[in-house]
C-alpha cells in the first residue's frame, strides 16, 4: 500500500510534508519549520507522530522538531554530516542509507550544494522525492555552503528517477522562479504554458507543488543546464534577478 503525502503550510512560504504509510498507519513529517501548524493537523488525525525527517539544518526546516519530538516521542532522522548543527538526531543518515516509514522504504540521497550536508528522501510507491531546498519547482537552492559544481552533480543524481516522480520541495517559490525562468529561457514553449498555469493557481491561492520530475526536466532551466558553467551563470543571475 502506498505512502500518502499531505502539505502543511508553515511560516511565510514553507511547506512541511505529513506522510502516512497506508499499510501500518505510521506517521512522519518532513522539515517541520514550526510546530504549531503541524500539531494542529496531527491532533485532528489521531495524535500520532512516529518520525521526523530533516533534510538540512536551516531553522525554517527544523524549528518545530524539538517540540514535536518532546510531545509525541517521535524519532528524529537527519543528515549525519550536519548533526552538530541539528536538533538531537536519533537516526543520523548518510548517502545511500535506507529509512523505513512503516512499510515504505525511503532511500537517502546526499545532495550537497544549498548546505554542505543536505540530504533528500526518495520513496518508490508512489515515486516521491522530498528534496528540501535543493530542487525547487522551476528553480534550485541558493549556494549558501556549496559550489555550482556540487549543485550540478547533485541535480543529476535525480537522473535515474522516473518522470512521474513527485517533487516535494520546501517552499512555495514557483511563481517567482517562473519569472526568472522565462527571463533566462524565453523560447521554451512548455515553460510558457507552465508559467501561465502557475499564475492561475496562485491567483486562486492554490499551491503549485508538488511538481514532477518530468515537468521539471521540460521547464526548469537549472535542471536543463548542460554544464557546470551554465548552472553557475544561471544561479548568479537568479541571485540578483
Catalytic residue among 31, 56, 57, 118: 56
**3-class DSSP state of 97:** coil
- 31 labeled binding residue: no
**Residue 56 known to be catalytic:** yes
Take residue 209 and report the three cell numbers written for it: 507543488
- 183 labeled binding residue: no
Distance, in Å, from the CA atom of 12 to the CA atom of 9, rounded to the nearest integer, reads 8
Please, what sign has the CA dihedral across residues 111, 155, 198, 128?
negative
Take residue 19 and report the three cell numbers written for it: 506522510
Cα-trace Rg, the chain: 17
Provide the pairing of β-strand 135-136 with 139-140: antiparallel
**Residue 133 known to be catalytic:** yes
- 61 labeled binding residue: yes
Residue 75 in contact with residue 50, Cβ under 8 Å? yes
- 84 labeled binding residue: no
- 114 labeled binding residue: yes
* Count of beta carbons in the 10 Å neighbourhood of residue 187: 7
Catalytic residue among 21, 34, 57, 61: 61
Catalytic residue among 57, 58, 97, 187: 58
**Residue 171 known to be catalytic:** yes
- Residues marked as catalytic: 56, 58, 60-61, 114, 133, 171
Binding-site residue positions for Zn(2+): 56, 58, 60-61, 114, 133, 171
Q: Which residues are annotated as a binding site?
A: 56, 58, 60-61, 114, 133, 171
Amino acid at each position: 500500500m502506498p505512502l500518502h503525502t499531505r502539505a502543511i503550510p508553515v511560516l511565510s512560504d514553507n511547506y512541511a510534508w505529513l506522510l502516512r504509510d497506508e499499510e501500518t498507519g505510521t506517521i512522519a513529517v518532513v522539515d517541520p519549520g514550526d510546530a504549531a501548524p503541524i500539531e494542529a493537523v496531527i491532533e485532528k488525525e489521531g495524535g500520532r507522530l512516529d518520525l521526523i525527517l530533516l533534510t538540512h539544518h536551516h531553522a525554517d526546516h527544523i524549528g518545530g522538531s524539538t517540540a514535536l519530538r518532546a510531545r509525541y516521542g517521535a524519532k528524529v532522522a537527519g543528515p549525519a554530516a550536519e548533526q552538530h548543527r541539528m536538533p538531537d538526531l536519533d537516526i543520523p543518515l548518510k548517502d545511500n542509507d535506507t529509512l523505513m516509514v512503516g512499510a515504505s522504504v525511503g532511500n537517502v540521497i546526499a545532495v550537497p550544494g544549498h548546505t554542505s550536508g543536505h540530504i533528500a528522501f526518495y520513496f518508490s510507491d508512489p515515486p516521491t522525492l522530498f528534496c528540501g531546498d535543493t530542487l525547487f519547482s522551476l528553480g534550485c537552492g541558493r549556494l549558501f555552503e556549496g559550489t555550482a559544481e556540487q549543485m550540478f552533480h547533485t541535480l543529476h543524481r535525480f537522473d535515474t528517477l522516473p518522470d512521474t516522480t513527485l517533487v516535494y520541495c520546501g517552499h512555495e517559490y514557483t511563481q517567482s522562479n517562473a519569472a526568472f525562468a522565462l527571463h533566462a529561457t524565453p523560447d521554451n514553449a512548455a515553460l510558457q504554458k507552465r508559467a501561465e498555469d502557475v499564475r492561475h493557481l496562485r491567483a486562486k491561492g492554490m499551491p503549485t507543488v508538488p511538481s514532477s520530475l518530468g515537468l521539471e526536466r521540460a521547464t526548469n532551466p537549472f535542471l536543463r543546464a548542460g554544464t557546470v558553467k551554465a548552472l553557475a551563470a544561471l544561479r548568479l543571475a537568479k541571485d540578483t534577478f
